[in-house]
């Protein structure tokens, strides 16, 4: 990914308008694990030879950073699991909303993720007479890097009654149709409010918020809700892969040559068959920047009894009320321990030469703006 940015960003920025956050992402990815980010000296655990490791950029849109952050997030979420069944719900926004998000990302994204989380809480209270809790994660892409605004929700199959008891329910008892309609109502209400408050001023005059929402109120919005295959632990492992990553990973990029990028994507309509896709470098960069999140947007949020203020105390109270009869055993997670080996020992350990993270020290060709200095308290990659 860094090679593609270094090869395409200068031409792209001269022909396309970009936001400050998108430019910052390009600078970070271009300089990631190069001299521009600074370096630290490490000692090989096997031969005790010192060698230089370039720092990571730490940008949440970089596909080769945040490994330790993802591991820590996953470990924390595993500790919060309750001894009960779980539901995996996915709230998809209609394609007409994508047009609004093209011009006003942050207010639209905020409206969608908040509507999804609040819909779970509202339907639990109205249909099941209990206070539910959920963890939500917002995503914007498909396997082909196209825009698809959707929110993943991790929902325990139980909640607190008005008198403080814990009441469990079966996954099929949470009505999906009610979730869909409540999600639609809350999202449209939030978007209208954002328009009244002047947060959608970036929309062109030809786009009418009222007309778009009037059409969408007559349609069913897609909501999926089923028990996660493999249990909540596997669902959290899946979500952890995208907690600090955007649209594409380095292992899906097969080649970059002659300003052409070849990537792999999974065709779910054909039995998850893996297919190649070839893109012009400029088009690839455009698709990547399409998914760079706006500044200040929080991708993962919590609602109901799992809201941040009382999450820890509510989890402990729920565990006491559920009791040992329904105890759900979670595999013990070992802390992530990166092995620090020099390139020579790594090659011997793996039985083949290990490619260096950066083919050259100088991140050429130079971008039309300076790379930011290395972080003061950065951790080695």
Report the alpha-carbon distance of residue 56 to residue 66 in Å, rounded.
8
What is the structure's pLDDT at 330?
Answer: 45
134: confidence class by pLDDT, cuts 50, 70, 90: very high
| Encoded tokens for 63 | 């596909």
Question: How far, in Å, are 239, 310, 360 from residue 79 at the CA level?
Answer: 15, 16, 41
Q: Which of 26-30, 270-274, 309-313, 364-368 has the lowest mean pLDDT?
A: 364-368
Strands 253-257 and 260-267, bridge-based pairing: antiparallel
Phi, psi (rounded to 5 degrees) for 107: -65, -35
* Residue 186 CA neighbour count, 13 Å, CB half: 22
Specify whether the CB–CB gap between 178 and 127 falls below 8 A.
yes
What confidence tens digit (pLDDT) does each residue in 260-309 have?
999 888 877 766 788 888 999 999 999 999 999 999 899 999 999 999 88
Over residues 119-127, the mean pLDDT reads 96
Over residues 85-90, the mean pLDDT reads 95
Report the alpha-carbon distance of residue 175 to residue 272 in Å, rounded.
29
What is the structure's pLDDT at 129?
Answer: 95
What is the structure's pLDDT at 327?
Answer: 42
Judged against a pLDDT cut of 80, whether residue 368 lies above it is answered with no
Report the alpha-carbon distance of residue 141 to residue 290 in Å, rounded.
9
Specify whether the CB–CB gap between 62 and 250 falls below 8 A.
no
What is the structure's pLDDT at 159?
Answer: 96
Helix (H, G, I), strand (E, B) or coil at 14: helix
What is the structure's pLDDT at 44?
Answer: 79
180: confidence class by pLDDT, cuts 50, 70, 90: very high
Q: Write out the DSSP string of 107-134.
A: HHHHHHHHHHHHHHHHHHHHHSSSB-EE
Helix (H, G, I), strand (E, B) or coil at 310: helix
Q: What is the largest CA-CA distance in the chain?
A: 68
What is the structure's pLDDT at 143?
Answer: 84
Report the alpha-carbon distance of residue 171 to residue 224 in Å, rounded.
12
What is the structure's pLDDT at 376?
Answer: 45
Report the alpha-carbon distance of residue 136 to residue 180 in Å, rounded.
15
Judged against a pLDDT cut of 80, whether residue 365 lies above it is answered with no
Judged against a pLDDT cut of 70, whether residue 18 lies above it is answered with yes
Handedness of CA 272, 278, 283, 285 (dihedral sign): positive
């Amino acid at each position: 990914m860094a090679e593609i940015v270094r090869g395409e960003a200068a031409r792209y920025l001269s022909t396309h308008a970009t936001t400050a956050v998108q430019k910052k992402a390009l600078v970070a990815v271009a300089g990631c694990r190069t001299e521009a980010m600074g370096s630290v000296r490490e000692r090989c655990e096997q031969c005790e030879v010192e060698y230089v490791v370039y720092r990571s950029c730490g940008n949440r849109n970089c596909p080769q950073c945040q490994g330790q952050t993802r591991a820590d997030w996953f470990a924390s979420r595993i500790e919060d699991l309750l001894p009960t069944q779980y539901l995996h719900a996915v709230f998809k926004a209609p394609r007409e909303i994508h047009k609004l998000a093209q011009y006003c990302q942050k207010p639209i994204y905020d409206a969608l993720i908040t509507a999804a989380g609040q819909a779970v809480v509202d339907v639990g209270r109205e249909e099941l007479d209990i206070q539910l809790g959920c963890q939500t994660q917002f995503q914007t892409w498909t396997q082909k890097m196209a825009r698809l605004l959707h929110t993943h929700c991790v929902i325990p199959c139980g909640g607190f009654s008005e008198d403080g008891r814990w009441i469990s329910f079966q996954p099929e008892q949470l009505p999906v149709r009610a979730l869909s309609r409540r999600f639609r109502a809350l999202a449209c209400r939030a978007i209208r409010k954002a328009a009244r408050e002047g947060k959608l001023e970036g929309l062109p005059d030809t786009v009418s918020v009222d007309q778009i929402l009037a059409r969408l109120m007559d349609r069913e919005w897609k909501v999926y809700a089923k028990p996660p295959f493999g249990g909540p632990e596997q669902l959290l492992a899946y979500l952890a892969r995208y907690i600090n990553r955007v649209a594409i990973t380095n292992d899906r990029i097969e080649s970059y040559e002659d300003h052409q990028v070849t990537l792999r994507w999974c065709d779910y309509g054909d039995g998850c068959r893996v297919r190649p896709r070839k893109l012009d470098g400029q088009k690839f960069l455009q698709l990547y920047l399409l998914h760079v999140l706006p500044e200040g947007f929080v991708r993962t949020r919590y609602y109901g009894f799992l809201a941040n203020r009382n999450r820890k105390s509510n989890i402990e109270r729920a565990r006491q009320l559920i009791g040992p009869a329904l105890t759900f055993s979670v595999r013990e997670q070992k802390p992530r321990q990166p092995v620090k080996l020099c390139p020579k020992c790594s090659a011997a350990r793996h039985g083949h030469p290990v490619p260096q993270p950066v083919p050259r020290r100088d991140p050429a060709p130079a971008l039309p703006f300076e790379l930011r200095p290395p972080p003061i308290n950065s951790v080695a990659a």
